[in-house]
Structure 1
């Protein structure tokens, strides 16, 4: 029997989406679930799919990545998804983002590449293609496959035409800038991040503004730019994160950026004060982020003459990078330790003081 109010699921869906925009993710998840049930009763399979997709977005935005992946896979395997390039590309992108969040980078890149190809078949799916392309670039960049990532960035740039809204263009330039910084194209990185900053607005989306400034600061710090522009990014991100609240994961990622700033500025005491409790709680971070936190703490401890503590952290960082399928980052940890040992021996031979 058909529902007496066939449009009731559409109204419920609009209410759920409004709650999501207000960042009331628990309520949005609940209402989207109700809307999905009503859509099922009404026989509106497309609305059912969209509401389940919204539920997945709520899980993602709360940092509940394992649950997010489970729901993303369920949608990706659904029969309706197979019949629609739009749904196929959106679900594939969602799975890729979840896999990246869990440190499963090769799988994430493969899923995102397939999703981008699927969306590229239909000019009407430009926004879906941009989403997939961004997920692909992020997975490649985090895997340190920077030549591949840069090639995909040039593809993304061709999609950022005047027809694309400012928010989407801003996010696109943001990811291109990230890759430029990672590839030591520092001037390009600054230029693309400036293009992003011009298009993203704190008045429209404070959460997005927080994440952009945090990411921009991270990239600048990785390029060893501990200048006033980097500090401005950090302060803007901290302020915006405080305004929106943010998940525990958001706050931990933000403190990692601040600790990196202290490390590069030579304030090891402040850096250790942040990093030791952060690493103790790092299981809620993506594996590769946890690995970076342990690597930074190891270097900070070494600089602070706490050699035995540092060695344990170097070991942990190396193991975590291996778990995240990042053997070259694990090798970088061992190389850093080897060079520091060489420096220590050289100092000893010259009779100079060294870290203990």
Structure 2
């Protein structure tokens, strides 16, 4: 008896996915493209869709957000996508993540909310719903709509049942913890991040471990927690990022966290050494991240008595926050500016 042969486009798809798991994204992208072509020739529309989706994931993991969003949008508008709540929710979530990555936060939140609603219609789509819900919370949190984000966190928590695998549960608790930290619920933030850390494992996915620890450190620093637990998160993230290799964007985001730690610890010289080259390269970061980097740079310059330089960088930071549609953050920066200009009018030392 012969074992059934897999169709060539499915074999090609498995090879592409294998390369993606090995983090060889260029090769995975190329192989997924070939598999998509073979699937189209074989008339297997769903396999074609899944390979284009894998190509988009490769672009996202390389930090190539504009191309990722273009491909996600193409899939979202495809006829096949409209016929299936699962594909609709998956594509919508991708578009939301792309929009968020480019700083288009209000649009990201709207698209993610639609994707979550679509997935909620079908109990079998629990994982897809969790993905969409996480994208929605991330966009709301970055828009500083923290009451809305917290409400969606409570919805997400009800989805994290015992049936959900550790990885998915860990990512869910991670995003809930982020919002708790942003909303000044520091104890809740620590508790949810501890739940996440128990479920995410460096032996299973070092890249995810790196990103989680980096994000956890970032949230703790925003809450002005420059304690031993925060330093542990930073060191774990740096180590894991070095092991994985990471994209240039990953390394810049990692060094921003380290600079923030130096700033809070009072080591302005070390913070400047990191922030000066970082801000020069910050166009590859999401707009809102670049804005935060410039804001930190400006405050560090100010603490280092480089007042004129600080003023220019505060101005740049405010502009970037405006571009990212974050008027409240922009107002915070402009308030800093106003205070400096006022102080300038007084004799030194007053």
Shorter-chain TM band: over 0.9
The answer to whether the 8 Å contact 1:238/1:254 transfers is yes
Find the counterpart in structure 1 of residue 197 from structure 2.
197
Deviation string for 1:191-240 (max 9, x for gaps)? 00000000000000000000000000000000000000000000000000
Per-residue deviation, 1:341: 5.0
Structure 2: distance between partners of 1:213 and 1:66: 26
- Does residue 352 of the first structure (1) align with residue 344 of the second (2)? no
- Does residue 176 of the first structure (1) align with residue 163 of the second (2)? no
TM-score if structure 2 supplies the norm length?
Answer: 0.97
The answer to whether the 8 Å contact 1:272/1:297 transfers is yes
Structure 2: distance between partners of 1:340 and 1:157: 43
User: Which residues of 2 match residues 293-308 of structure 1 at below 5 A?
Assistant: 293-308=293-308
Find the counterpart in structure 2 of residue 24 from structure 1.
24
Per-residue deviation, 1:302: 0.3
The answer to whether the 8 Å contact 1:92/1:114 transfers is yes
Q: Specify whether residues 44 and 6 from structure 1 end up closer, same or farther in structure 2 by C-alpha distance, changes over 3 A only.
A: farther
Per-residue deviation, 1:352: 2.8
The answer to whether the 8 Å contact 1:6/1:42 transfers is no
Structure 2: distance between partners of 1:72 and 1:338: 42
Q: Specify whether residues 169 and 130 from structure 1 end up closer, same or farther in structure 2 by C-alpha distance, changes over 3 A only.
A: same
Deviation string for 1:33-72 (max 9, x for gaps)? 1110111111100000000000000000000000001100
Per-residue deviation, 1:335: 1.6
Structure 1: distance between partners of 2:266 and 2:31: 49
Which 5+ residue runs of structure 2 have no aligned equivalent?
none
Deviation string for 1:115-170 (max 9, x for gaps)? 00000000000000000000000000000000000000000000000000000000
Per-residue deviation, 1:337: 2.8
Deviation string for 1:100-128 (max 9, x for gaps)? 00000000000000000000000000000
Find the counterpart in structure 2 of residue 85 from structure 1.
85
Structure 2: distance between partners of 1:337 and 1:138: 29
Find the counterpart in structure 2 of residue 95 from structure 1.
95
Per-residue deviation, 1:340: 4.6
Per-residue deviation, 1:84: 0.3
Structure 1: distance between partners of 2:311 and 2:123: 53
User: Which residues of 2 match residues 193-342 of structure 1 at below 5 A?
Assistant: 193-340=193-340
Structure 2: distance between partners of 1:212 and 1:68: 22
The answer to whether the 8 Å contact 1:234/1:257 transfers is yes
User: Which residues of 2 match residues 2-17 of structure 1 at below 5 A?
Assistant: 7-17=7-17
Find the counterpart in structure 2 of residue 185 from structure 1.
185
Structure 2: distance between partners of 1:7 and 1:163: 33
Structure 1: distance between partners of 2:341 and 2:228: 33
Structure 2: distance between partners of 1:6 and 1:17: 15
The answer to whether the 8 Å contact 1:173/1:196 transfers is yes
Find the counterpart in structure 2 of residue 73 from structure 1.
73
Find the counterpart in structure 1 of residue 61 from structure 2.
61
Structure 2: distance between partners of 1:143 and 1:69: 19
Structure 1: distance between partners of 2:164 and 2:338: 48
Find the counterpart in structure 2 of residue 139 from structure 1.
139
Q: Give the secondary-structure state (helix, strand or coil) at the position aligned to 1:225.
A: coil
Q: Give the secondary-structure state (helix, strand or coil) at the position aligned to 1:63.
A: coil
Q: Give the secondary-structure state (helix, strand or coil) at the position aligned to 2:295.
A: helix
Per-residue deviation, 1:6: 6.9
Structure 2: distance between partners of 1:150 and 1:337: 31
Structure 2: distance between partners of 1:54 and 1:127: 17
Q: Give the secondary-structure state (helix, strand or coil) at the position aligned to 1:15.
A: helix
RMSD, aligned CA: 1.2
Structure 2: distance between partners of 1:74 and 1:104: 18
TM-score if structure 1 supplies the norm length?
Answer: 0.95
Per-residue deviation, 1:334: 1.1
User: Which residues of 2 match residues 33-44 of structure 1 at below 5 A?
Assistant: 33-44=33-44
